[in-house]
Amino acid sequence: MREVVVWYDGACPLCRREIGVMRRLDRRGALLQRRLPVVCG
């Protein structure tokens, strides 16, 4: 089985909500969620 990496903005409420939905639907554990690092500048 192939894994899919999903990058998301952990500071974004909409992104966090969508990742939560994806986690509930990912019953095979095929999604790897990766939070984008915070960049100050």
Instruction: Report the amino acid identity of residue 7.
Output: W
Instruction: Report the amino acid identity of residue 9.
Output: D
Nearest to 39 by CA among 4, 9, 15: 9
Alpha-carbon Rg for the chain in angstroms: 11
- What is the reported pLDDT for 34? 94
In tens, the pLDDT along 1-41 reads: 688 999 999 989 999 999 999 999 999 999 999 999 876 55
